[in-house]
Amino acid sequence: MLRAIFRAISLVCLAIALVAGVLDITRSIADSHLVLTPLYADWSRFSQDSLVGLKTVIEQNLFPFVWDPVFATILKSPTWSIFGILSILFAVAARRRRRPWQENFLA
């Protein structure tokens, strides 16, 4: 059950990464130079309130320096790369692990 949920999350993250990548490619072609939209810009365009809420929760419940170097760096990265990495991580978590004795029987 958990494997199916991880596969679904991986597929959604991959779809978001592809859409964000296509948007960046389209903007790059239109502007005639490389355009990489950071996650912060996309997230603030989608829902500014949730971004501010996440910042306050992290600064109040965790150490304040966790927001600035860690999450600020993640938010400055391109959207397609963050969701691409998440897609890969969830796909690896959802894969079926083979046991050494199974390799002899599955040819």
Of 14-23, 34-43, 65-74, 83-92, give the lowest mean pLDDT range.
Answer: 65-74
Name the band, by pLDDT with cuts 50, 70 and 90, for residue 104.
Answer: low
For residues 70 and 84, membership in a common domain is answered with: no
Return the amino acid letter for 77.
Answer: S
Collect all residues with Cβ–Cβ distance below 8 Å to 21 and sequence separation of at least 6.
Answer: 80, 84
Instruction: Report yes or no on 107 lying in a domain.
Output: no
Domain assignment of residue 30, given as a range = 1-35+79-98
Written as six digits, the tokens of 83 are: 């969701």
For residues 43 and 73, membership in a common domain is answered with: yes
* Closest-CA residue to 39 (of 57, 16, 15, 68): 16
For residues 2 and 22, membership in a common domain is answered with: yes
72 sits in which H/E element? helix 72-76
Instruction: Report yes or no on 86 lying in a domain.
Output: yes
Name the band, by pLDDT with cuts 50, 70 and 90, for residue 105.
Answer: low
Instruction: Report yes or no on 103 lying in a domain.
Output: no
For residues 31 and 83, membership in a common domain is answered with: yes
- Residue 62: the pLDDT is 82
Instruction: Report yes or no on 29 lying in a domain.
Output: yes
User: Number of folded domains in the chain?
Assistant: 2
pTM of this structure: 0.82
